[in-house]
Structures are given as C-alpha cells and as structure tokens.
Amino acid sequence: MKKVSFKLMFMIFILIMGIVLIGCNKTLSKKDEAKAEATSVKVIKEADVKKDEDSGLSFSVLGDVHEDVNNFNEAVDDLYNIDNKQDALILNGDVVGQGLDEQYVSMNKAIEANKSKLPKTIIKNIGNHEFFDYRKDRNTQDDVNEFIKRYLDFSGEDRVYHDKWIEGYHFISLGSESGNTKELGSVKAYLSKEQLKWFEETIKEKYEKGKPIFIFLHQHINDSIKGWNGSDQREKVKKILSKYPEAIIFTSHTHLPLEKINLSLNNPYTMVHTGAVQYSLVIDNNGKITRPSYNEGIYVSVKQNKVTIKGRRFKEHRWIFSKDIEYKK
C-alpha cells in the first residue's frame, strides 16, 4: 500500500507541476524573456569551442541524470568531442532516481567506464531524488540520515555542502540536508542556519573583484516559475549572492528545456539553468505534458575575468544558447 501511495503522490505532483508550468511563458517577466532571447544563438561549430593550451579553465554541469546511464554516456561522449581537456565535471543533483545502493553502484560503474573521457575532478552534488525510495512513504529522520550516508559514500564528501578550488577558481556546492519528509515535502531544499553561515563565510575566501565564483545548488532559487518554490531559504541565499556580482549559480531540478529558460543576468549575480539529462518537461498551449529525452547540459570556459556559458543538447549535438560575461577588475 505504501508503494502505491507514494507513486500516486508522485503522479499528482507531476500533474500539479504541469499546471504550474503551463503558464511559464506568461510568468516569465518581460525582463527575463528579453534575457533569454538575448542569449539564444544559432548552431556553433565544434571548432569554436576546442580548448587551447592557454585557454584557462573549462568545465561542464549536468543535472538530473536520474541514473540514466545511456543518456549519461551520450553526454560524456559529446562533451569529450567538444573539449577533451576539461578541468571538472559537476553532477548537480538527482544523479540517481532513488537514493538506493544499487543505483549508486550503477552510476559508479558508468563513471568508471567513461574514466578516459572524464576530467579527474568530478563534483557530485545532492538533489531531492537522493532522498527517495519508492517502496516507502515519507521519510523519518533515520531514513534521512541513511540517505545522506549513501550520498556521502558516493560523493566522497564529508557533508552535503562543500567547496573546492580548481585552477585557482572557487567552486561552492550547497545541498539539502533533508528530503521527502512530512514537514519539508518531497522536492524542496532545506539549508540550515549552519549551512547558510558557512556559505556566507566561504564565498568570501580569497575574494578578488572581477574573478568569477561558481556556486551550485540542485533546486532553483529564481521566481520565474510562480507557485513552485525550490527552497524556503532561497531569499537568504540570494541575499548572500547579491553581494558578489561575480557569483554564478547553477541550478537544475525543474527539467525545463534550455530553449524555454537558460540564464538570468545582473541580479546582480548570474543564475544559470542547467537543463536535464534524463528528460525535459514540455507543456504545450493545451496543457499537454510531454517528457522528451533532449539530454541537455552546460559547458563553461573561463579566461581570466571572461566567462563563456553554453547550453548544449547532447542528443542533437547542437548548442541552444551561448553567452559571454566579462567582469571588470
């Protein structure tokens, strides 16, 4: 009965989400629409993004893999053909569809099988599906602790929020400390006071004006999707980010295609939507929901204070958008 109940609850969530998203075109502000339109570009040749020896930093961000090994392999192959010298790969949450040992084993095997094509540094962030077991109903605190332990074993981290310096650039990962509980619900990120304080202090480290800082959180913090709140702590996160125009935060979770929404500038920080590897959520004008397997993600290159962010549809081997951001020192 619990299994049926959970699946029914999940299907109801998808339907509600569809109703929320059907008005997505209308809920995007004119400013956001202009930003999205401004970042749309035609297909770019592969030669335009090949990495030179002196090209600085490059990395990619994949969200919502959901243990889809075939799409993961497809994304890895495409990214390797674009840039075979990337410095890092960020798996931005929902790496698994459920937080089960066998799904983590599956993803570890996929990563190992692609070892020759992947960068040495792989950052694995937590999402909401890491707290799921479809055989259960809502999580108890013991369940939450067990799900976090499995994630930590997989990621090699000491806690769900963490940071790393790569080629002199700061990479900061935020992460939910609970999930799928009666109090929190099944999809929101919970960021404790301790985590927010850590974030406020960590983002200051070795700060240089004009030098980009990269932040990652699975759940979205933007307001463009009315009625869908990625985290109750999102305003506190945005308040911290607002002190750093150089901050670029990457979020996933919504499964919206990159043609619908991609990035937002001058907040004063930058927000980037990563798209989704396993499937995208597309709502037509009649409210019909489809889940095409576009297999999308983000490629980033950095040269000093200039950042180029590109959205990629791996299945079609084409770019969806490209944007250059140059910071004043």
Residue, of 258 and 8, whose pLDDT is higher:
258
3-state SS, one letter per residue, for the chain: CHHHHHHHHHHHHHHHHHHHHHCHHHHCCHHHHHHHHHHECCCCCHHHHCCCCCCCEEEEEECCCCCCHHHHHHHHHHHHHHCCCCCEEEEECCCCCCCCHHHHHHHHHHHHHCHHHCCCEEEEECCCHHHCCCCCCCCCHHHHHHHHHHHHHHHCCCCCCEEEEECCEEEEECCCCCCCECCCECCCECCCHHHHHHHHHHCCCCCCCCCCEEEECCCCCCCCCCCCCCECCHHHHHHHHCCCCCEEEEECCCCCCCCCCCEECCCCCEEEECCCCCCCCEECCCCCEECCCCCEEEEEEEECCEEEEEEEEHHHCEEEEEEEEECCC
Q: Identify the pLDDT of residue 227.
A: 60
Q: Find the range with the poorest average confidence among 33-37, 138-142, 154-158, 185-189.
A: 33-37
Q: Identify the pLDDT of residue 329.
A: 81
**Mean pLDDT across the stretch 245-265?**
93
87, 119 Cβ separation under 8 angstroms: yes
Omega of the bond prior to 212 within 30 degrees of 0, cis? no
**Mean pLDDT across the stretch 257-278?**
93
Residue from 158, 263, 181 nearest 220 by CA: 263
Domains and CATH numbers, the chain: 2-326 (3.60.21.10)
**Mean pLDDT across the stretch 52-71?**
88
Q: Name beta bridge partners: 250.
A: 216, 272
Residue, of 187 and 68, whose pLDDT is higher:
68
Using one digit for the tens of pLDDT, what is the confidence trace for 32-58?
Answer: 433 433 333 333 334 344 444 456 899
Q: Identify the pLDDT of residue 110.
A: 98
Residue from 260, 177, 158 nearest 218 by CA: 177
**Mean pLDDT across the stretch 229-240?**
91
C-alpha 107/C-alpha 76 separation (Å) is 13
**Mean pLDDT across the stretch 159-185?**
96
Q: Identify the pLDDT of residue 260.
A: 82
Categorize the per-residue pLDDT at 12 as very low, low, confident or very high, splitting at 50, 70 and 90.
Answer: very low
Categorize the per-residue pLDDT at 117 as very low, low, confident or very high, splitting at 50, 70 and 90.
Answer: very high
**Mean pLDDT across the stretch 131-154?**
96
Using one digit for the tens of pLDDT, what is the confidence trace for 276-325?
Answer: 999 999 988 888 999 999 999 999 999 988 999 999 999 999 999 999 99
Q: Identify the pLDDT of residue 261.
A: 79
Q: Identify the pLDDT of residue 173.
A: 98
DSSP 223-235: SSSTT--SBTTHH
Q: Is the pLDDT of residue 81 over 90?
A: yes
**Residue for token digits 């990962």?**
173
Mean pLDDT (the chain, rounded): 86
Q: Identify the pLDDT of residue 224.
A: 54
272, 250 Cβ separation under 8 angstroms: yes
Q: Identify the pLDDT of residue 2.
A: 42
